[in-house]
């Protein structure tokens, strides 16, 4: 593994106003010295833009306080699917480490609006790869997804498993990212690492995710639908654990080396980042409701049973996600550890604070 010191580097983070992206930038401000961090986000309205603006505002405010490390922050409002914009950023700033987190997210939305996924997840990622090809990039880290495992019956999911049966277009685009990256690593010797994230959650997250959507609905007195009659299990991963994993991986690029045949081995790697503790949706909802009451988001006498409905599986969904993160532990000494209750408590407390004016 090739060690990379992030101090005094130019680091390009796509999707910087997104859930994971904004948390990563915040962590870079805190831990890295003398770096130039470039962020890009198209600020689209797939979900409430006010949340993206809030995250961005937090970055701008906190960066002012954390500038003791001598880091520079530059935000560009733009789309990674626009080749000219991406080429312009690489030409002007010459990023040495690139973290591609920009993507059209969501399994269900990919069924009704496939165009957005092709543009962002495929054309956008291709533009990033092309720019890396023509510039001396030390490491490209990019977001893949646990959705690439599709309906795999074997658990836990290992990066050694075959992932040729996606059940959503979103999953297919993420698998294509891994294939594109392998190709560019092989042809152009670009060190790339893909990270398969498992159900990321936490404060200021995405409203289309179950924990956030359930909270919004319960607050309005609406009924929440629990799919597959509650028989789904998800490997929930708190956002701070995801960011810790990304930070460690950024600093360890796959090595340039030759194989037994004397030809270059692609400097390519893929890791799972998940806690390895899948929770049933019914247990998850139980913990969520307890924490919402504790944080004062919902009254203590709230009738949860009257607002829950067990329904069949939705198209594009899978019954179980379950990460085998032993490779991450082996290579980077890290496995996500924050338990679900602790993470949902932080979310509930943030939610109570953020929406208290409404």
Which residues are known catalytic residues? Answer: 170
Cβ neighbours of 358 (radius 10 Å): 5
Cβ neighbours of 337 (radius 10 Å): 13
Per-residue 3-state assignment (H helix, E strand, C coil) for the chain: CEECCCCCCEEEEECCCCHHHHHHHHHHHHHCCCCEEEEEECCCCCCCHHHHHHHHHHHHHHHHHHHHHCCEEEEEECCCCCHHHHHHHHHHHCCCEEEECCCCCCCCHHHHCHHHHHHHHHHHHHHHHHHHHCCCCCEEEEEEEHHHHCCCCCCCECCCCCCCCCCCHHHHHHHHHHHHHHHHHHHHCCCEEEEEECCEECCCCCCCCHHHHHHHHHHCCCCEEEHHHHCCEECCEEHHHHHHHHHHHHCEECCCEECCCCCEECCEEEEEECCCCCEEHHHHHHHHHHHHHHCCCCCCCCCCHHHEEECCCCCCCCCECCECCHHHHHHHCCCCCCCHHHHHHHHHHHHHHHCCCC
Cα 324 → chain centroid: 17
Task: Give the Cα separation of 74 and 48 in Å (integer).
Answer: 23
Contact 271, 237 (CB under 8 A): no
Task: Give the Cα separation of 29 and 8 in Å (integer).
Answer: 12
């Amino acid at each position: 593994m090739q060690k990379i010191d992030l101090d005094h580097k130019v680091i390009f983070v796509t999707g910087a106003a997104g859930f994971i992206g904004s948390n990563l930038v915040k962590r870079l401000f805190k831990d890295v010295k003398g770096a130039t961090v470039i962020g890009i986000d198209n600020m689209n309205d797939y979900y409430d833009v006010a949340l993206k603006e809030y995250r961005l505002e937090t970055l701008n405010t906190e960066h002012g306080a954390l500038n003791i490390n001598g880091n520079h922050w530059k935000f560009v409002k733009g789309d990674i699917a626009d080749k000219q914009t991406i080429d312009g950023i690489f030409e002007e700033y010459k990023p040495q480490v690139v973290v591609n987190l920009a993507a059209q997210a969501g399994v269900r939305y990919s069924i009704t609006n496939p165009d957005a996924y092709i543009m962002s997840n495929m054309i956008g990622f291709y533009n990033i790869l092309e720019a890396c090809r023509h510039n001396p990039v030390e490491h490209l880290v990019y977001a893949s997804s646990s959705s690439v495992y599709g309906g795999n019956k074997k658990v836990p999911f290992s990066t050694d498993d075959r992932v040729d049966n996606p059940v959503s277009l979103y999953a297919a685009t993420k698998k294509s990212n891994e294939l594109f990256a392998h190709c560019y690593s092989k042809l152009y010797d670009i060190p790339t690492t893909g990270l398969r994230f498992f159900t990321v959650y936490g404060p200021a997250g995405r409203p289309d995710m179950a924990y956030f959507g359930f909270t919004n609905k319960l607050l309005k007195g609406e009924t929440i639908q629990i799919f597959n009659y509650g028989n789904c299990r998800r490997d929930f991963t708190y956002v701070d654990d995801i960011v810790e994993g990304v930070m460690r991986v950024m600093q360890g690029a796959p090595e340039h080396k030759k194989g037994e045949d004397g030809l270059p081995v692609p400097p390519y790697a893929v890791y799972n980042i998940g806690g390895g503790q899948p929770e049933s949706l019914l247990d998850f909802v139980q913990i969520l409701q307890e924490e919402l009451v504790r944080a004062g988001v919902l009254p203590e006498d709230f009738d949860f049973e009257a607002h829950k409905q067990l329904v069949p599986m939705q198209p594009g969904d899978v019954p179980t996600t379950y990460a085998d993160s032993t490779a991450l532990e082996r290579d980077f000494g890290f496995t996500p550890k924050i338990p679900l209750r602790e993470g949902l408590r932080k979310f509930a407390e943030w939610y109570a604070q953020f929406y208290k004016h409404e």
